[in-house]
């Protein structure tokens, strides 16, 4: 796999076949995420709304990667600096570097205007045929122009996972004087180069329902996005939100980290997963394993926190439940690590029985995309 190093951790895929295979791998992987979410719902790890929202974020991630595959469709096939080459994190995440998503977001903001300046797809195809028949040459630059049109069409279609996907609130129920919402949002962590999805159960005791409140809702959204860093503990995020945003009472916060992705062909992982992938020597379509982590923080109860504000309103604070063994380190009630992997890699993993991978919950992808959950 020809690469041009960017840093010790990042690399570019300058070979057209390698770039195509890289995005094909992610198309297969992201196609399984919704089914895993459904499996977690069936076993009670997620409720239906959580599973649906998680599947929606996974679908947006798949859409962004499809768009990137079109952007780089002609990598290594035309002369000059365009179309460039996709950059990915080959050590820590296996995912595209955050800059790729940032550029995609900028392109998306002006995609409609860019499309208006491009020839229609039918015209480009007609010109390609003419060049092939009349000049007997490969119409590389016309193919590149068509790939960029398809890229911008994908951006205009929307439904993308962007570096920042602002919080949205889903009403769940009214409980006495409070309204209960499930707030969800997602970010692409710029340090880890990984997508993070957040789910927060909260109760709203404000006079106006949270999504309709022109003061509290923008404040809550800005607060949550600013704290959405993979390096921050859930206890820090939820505790700060509980203290700083009036009349909102977080009861549960979950962070789902989609990744890292390991592949013997593309990534430079070490440890037991490297041994398993190397021993599996799987064909291209099965040379991968995706780790999926769910961190969970729940409130045990509320306690009065005194009076605040001009009118001396009584405030409450959450008392969080932490894992008795690792809570001080993780800042969470519980943490569950899972792994999605093809059947061939799973068989080698079972045969090698590496202790370091034993705690991971496994979701094995079999023939026809069949998903089997194992321990």
Quickly list H helices, 72-215. Answer: 98-109, 111-116, 121-135, 140-157
Closest CA to 257 of 58, 113, 22: 58
Question: According to the model, what pLDDT value does residue 307 have?
Answer: 58
Query: Given pLDDT bands bounded at 50, 70 and 90, which one contains residue 94?
Result: very high
Question: Residue 19 in contact with residue 75, Cβ under 8 Å?
Answer: yes
Q: What are the residues facing 194 on neighbouring strands? A: 189
Average pLDDT over residues 349-373: 89
Strand partners, 321: 298
Query: Could you say which DSSP state residue 296 is in?
Result: E
Q: What is the mean predicted confidence (pLDDT) over 145-174?
A: 97
- Label residue 310 by pLDDT band (50, 70, 90): very low
Using the CB atoms, write b or e for 12-50: b if 16+ within 10 Å: bbbbbebbbbbbebbebbbebbbbbbbbbbeeebbeeeb
| pLDDT value, residue 5 | 44
Please state the rounded mean pLDDT for residues 180-208. Answer: 96
* Residues found in the chain: 375
- The number of C-alpha atoms within 13 Å of 44 and in the hemisphere containing its C-beta is 0
Pairing type for strands 334-342 and 361-365 reads: parallel
Separation CA 2–CA 80 (nearest Å): 18
Q: How confident is the model at residue 190 (pLDDT cuts 50, 70, 90)?
A: very high
Higher pLDDT, 99 or 80: 99
Q: What confidence tens digit (pLDDT) does each residue in 21-49 have?
A: 999 999 999 999 999 999 999 999 999 99
Q: What is the pLDDT of residue 165?
A: 98
pTM score over 0.85: yes
What does the longest C-alpha to C-alpha distance in the chain come to?
A: 83
Percent of the chain with pLDDT over 90: 81
Distance of CA 227 to the CA centre of its chain: 17
Provide mean pLDDT across the span 99-117.
97
The structure tokens listed for 150 are: 């398809």
């Amino acid at each position: 796999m020809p690469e041009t190093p960017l840093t010790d951790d990042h690399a570019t895929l300058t070979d057209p076949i390698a770039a195509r295979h890289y995005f094909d791998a992610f198309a297969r992987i992201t196609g399984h995420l919704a089914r895993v979410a459904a499996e977690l719902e069936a076993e009670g790890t997620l409720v239906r709304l959580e599973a649906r929202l998680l599947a929606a974020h996974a679908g947006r991630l798949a859409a962004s990667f499809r768009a990137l595959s079109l952007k780089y469709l002609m990598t290594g096939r035309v002369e000059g600096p365009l179309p460039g080459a996709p950059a990915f994190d080959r050590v820590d995440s296996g995912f595209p570097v955050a800059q790729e998503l940032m550029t995609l977001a900028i392109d998306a903001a002006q995609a409609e205007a860019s499309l208006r300046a491009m020839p229609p797809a039918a015209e480009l195809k007609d010109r390609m045929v003419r060049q092939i028949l009349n000049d007997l040459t490969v119409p590389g630059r016309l193919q590149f122009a068509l790939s960029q049109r398809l890229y911008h069409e994908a951006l205009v279609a929307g439904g993308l996972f962007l570096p920042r996907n602002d919080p949205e609130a889903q009403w769940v129920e009214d409980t006495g004087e409070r309204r209960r919402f499930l707030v969800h949002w997602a970010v692409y962590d710029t340090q880890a180069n990984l997508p993070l999805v957040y789910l927060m159960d909260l109760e709203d005791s404000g006079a106006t329902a949270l999504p309709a409140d022109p003061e509290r809702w923008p404040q809550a959204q800005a607060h949550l996005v600013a704290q959405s860093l993979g390096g921050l503990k859930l206890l820090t995020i939820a505790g700060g939100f509980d203290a700083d945003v009036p009349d909102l009472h977080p009861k549960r916060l979950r962070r789902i980290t989609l990744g890292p992705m390991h592949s013997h062909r593309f990534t430079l992982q070490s440890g037991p997963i490297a041994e398993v992938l190397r021993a599996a020597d799987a064909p291209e379509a099965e040379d991968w394993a995706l780790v999926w982590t769910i961190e969970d923080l729940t409130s045990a109860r509320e306690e009065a926190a005194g009076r605040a504000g001009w009118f001396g309103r009584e405030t409450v604070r959450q008392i969080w439940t932490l894992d008795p063994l690792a809570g001080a380190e993780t800042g969470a009630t519980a943490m569950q690590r899972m792994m999605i992997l093809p059947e061939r890699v799973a068989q080698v993993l079972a045969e090698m029985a590496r202790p370091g991978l034993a705690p991971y919950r496994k979701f094995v992808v079999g023939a026809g995309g069949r998903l089997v959950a194992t321990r």
